[in-house]
Amino acid sequence: MVRINPDKPSTANTTKPSELDAVLKAQRAAFNTNPNPDWPSRKAKLETLRDLILGHEDEFVKAISDDFGHRAVEDTLISEFLVIQGGISHAIKHTPKWMKTRKAPTALQYKPARNVIIPQPLGVIGIISPWNYPLQLAIMPLVGALGAGNRAMIKPSEYTPRMSELLKEVLSKGFTDDEVFVATGGVDVASAFSNLNFDHLVFTGSTSVGRIVGEAAGKNLVPVTLELGGKSPVIIDESANMKLTVPRITNGKLLNAGQTCVAPDYVIMPEAKINSFADAMIEQAESFYPTVAGNDDYTTIIADGHYARLQDLLEDAENKGAKIRTAGDDDKQQLAKERRVPLTVVTDTTPDMKIMQEEIFGPLLPIVAAESLDEALDTVQKGERPLALYWFGEDKKKRDKVLRESISGGVSVNETAWHVVQEDIPFGGVGPSGMGAYHGEDGFKSFSHMKGVFIQSKFSQGKNLFPPYTDKTRKMIGLMKKIL
């Protein structure tokens, strides 16, 4: 997978590696004085977090927009604030149950002993987050970490320096450094951060940096949750209701100007329907965003390098024979000046085009022909296992075949992206799109040690297996063999 960030901005305020070490030490020492916080103290932390983040909504909206160039206010409210609020409310409602000691069955031969599982905080959780949803992707792992009774250190992306500084300032109003700490700075700080001896490290970002982070964590045997990217396909079946399908794909693709880990990356559909679908997508985009240049509803591409990379993907596809349709008729120079890219549908694609090889991460939508469901599934399987897969259609047999036979981090059926905000199902990738999962109870479990405990009874028959071994022992073994 090609790395998404071709240029590196600098940041003024940088956390020093020695400070990172000192904070980790302080957090671990503080954790050791209270290694299993009770529910009232965890709840208070979650409420503090909620009040601090929601209480600074306007400042965060502005900081994120300034970091992007322009970020639609509603894009931030929908994709950052609603998600965070939903995640914290869910955690406050359910954590008391999740943190309880759970009874587990005990096999007949070990009875009357009992088994239990005790969820236990791990200690200090490291969180490295990307720029595309800079607040949500720093806070959602923190919700899981705090709910599970941990302390946490966060390193947001160097591409959102204003948001990172604000996050540091806001969180320091409610948390001491030995509870929650925000590190700021560039890749050098992120790299030092990923080498710290955390009790668990959550990394959200590209697959290529995920490999580096996984290796760094592996050296310290730090367990990792890797939330990575990839090319998330959309399969449109002949049975799909196109009146519902077209706006849902357009919305999923254009939210945050396509800079979404689970954005539909490319579409697979029968050849005969490609042209009418491509035209309908363009028409839909023009109805959502009548102009793109100067439109406050439309988010800009984060940096010049990212803009140039998208233009390069298009040029490469065009040079190799692709047909390009662009929404609207905005002045190209103005669009470039604003770093805004309208929906661009790319047809007549071939596998040698870069746009069919790299994660796109922008509002370009290539379409691939497949005449049958098997061919569509084959196209998906030839690529790396994606973070998300979308299927549109009404034929339930085909839907079930897709769900059974395709492998992806998650799926939305007749929708794009919404599976990500369901707190009752795990969110995570598979293979090159990630490992581990979080959100809801899955986050709680990822940031807890689910400790298995066996409690022996005074009536245990285990003494029958003590040495010296006699006929009585062998009889006992025979008896156990019969009941296993």
Q: Which residues carry out catalysis?
A: 227, 261
From 104, 187, 403, 455, residue interacting with ligand NAD (rule: CB under 6 A)? 187
- Told to check if 412 binds ligand NAD by CB under 6 A, we report no
Taking residues 369 to 408 in sequence order and writing x for each that binds ligand NAD by CB under 6 A, - otherwise, the string is: ------------------x---------------------
Rounded to a whole number of angstroms, the minimum distance from the CB of residue 215 to ligand NAD is 9
Quote the least distance from Cβ 8 to ligand NAD, whole Å.
Answer: 9
Nearest-angstrom CA–CA distance, 398 and 221: 42
Note whether 345 and 368 are within 8 A (CB).
no
405 φ, ψ (degrees, to nearest 5): -100, -20
Rule CB under 6 A: say whether 429 interacts with ligand NAD.
yes
By beta-carbon proximity to ligand NAD, the closer residue of 52 and 163 is 163
Cα-trace Rg, the chain: 25
CA angle, corner 469, sides to 465 and 471, nearest 5? Answer: 95
* SS3 (DSSP) at 314: helix
Among 40-48, 125-133, 244-252, 308-316, the segment contacting ligand NAD (CB under 6 A): 125-133
Q: Is 128 in the site for ligand NAD (CB under 6 A)?
A: yes
- In the numeric block, the tokens 């359910």 are attached to 94
72 binds ligand NAD (CB under 6 A): no
> Is residue 308 a contact point for ligand NAD (CB under 6 A)?
no
Site for ligand NAD (CB under 6 A): which residue of 150, 206, 412, 448?
206
Shortest separation between residue 239's beta carbon and ligand NAD, angstroms:
30
Strands 180-182 and 233-236: unpaired
The answer to whether 137 contacts ligand NAD (rule: CB under 6 A) is yes
Q: Does 160 bind ligand NAD (CB under 6 A)?
A: no
260 or 379: CB nearest ligand NAD: 260
427: region left, alpha or beta (phi > 0 left; psi from -120 to 50 alpha): beta
Residue 359 sits in the site that holds ligand NAD (CB under 6 A): yes
Window 270-289: residues binding ligand NAD (CB under 6 A) = none
Among 64, 145, 180, 228, binds ligand NAD (CB under 6 A): 228
Judged by CB under 6 A, the residue of 37, 393, 426, 434 near ligand NAD is 434
Residue selected from 147, 205, 233, 362 as contacting ligand NAD according to rule CB under 6 A: 205
To ligand NAD, the closest distance from the beta carbon of 110 in angstroms equals 41
Q: Return the half-sphere exposure (C-beta side, CA atoms, 13 A cut-off) of residue 480.
A: 14
213 binds ligand NAD, rule: CB under 6 A: yes
Q: Any contact of residue 199 with ligand NAD (CB under 6 A)?
A: no
Helix, strand, coil distribution of the chain in percent, nearest 5: 50, 15, 35
Residue selected from 212, 324, 421, 480 as contacting ligand NAD according to rule CB under 6 A:
212
Q: How far apart are CA 142 and CA 226, in angstroms?
A: 15
Q: Given the rule CB under 6 A, which of 47-55, 59-67, 145-153, 154-162 is the region that contacts ligand NAD? A: 154-162
Could you give the CA distance from residue 80 to residue 71 in angstroms, rounded to a whole number? 12
Q: Shortest approach of ligand NAD to residue 156 CB, angstroms?
A: 6
- Residue 269 in contact with residue 236, Cβ under 8 Å? yes
Minimum distance, C-beta of residue 401 to ligand NAD, in the bound complex (Å): 26
158 binds ligand NAD (CB under 6 A): yes
Q: Is 149 in the site for ligand NAD (CB under 6 A)?
A: no
261 binds ligand NAD (CB under 6 A): yes
Site membership for ligand NAD, residue 5 (CB under 6 A): yes
* Smallest distance from ligand NAD to CB 164, Å: 9
Binding region for ligand NAD (CB under 6 A): 4-5, 128-132, 137, 155, 157-158, 187, 190-191, 194, 204-206, 209, 212-213, 227-229, 261, 359, 361, 387, 429, 434
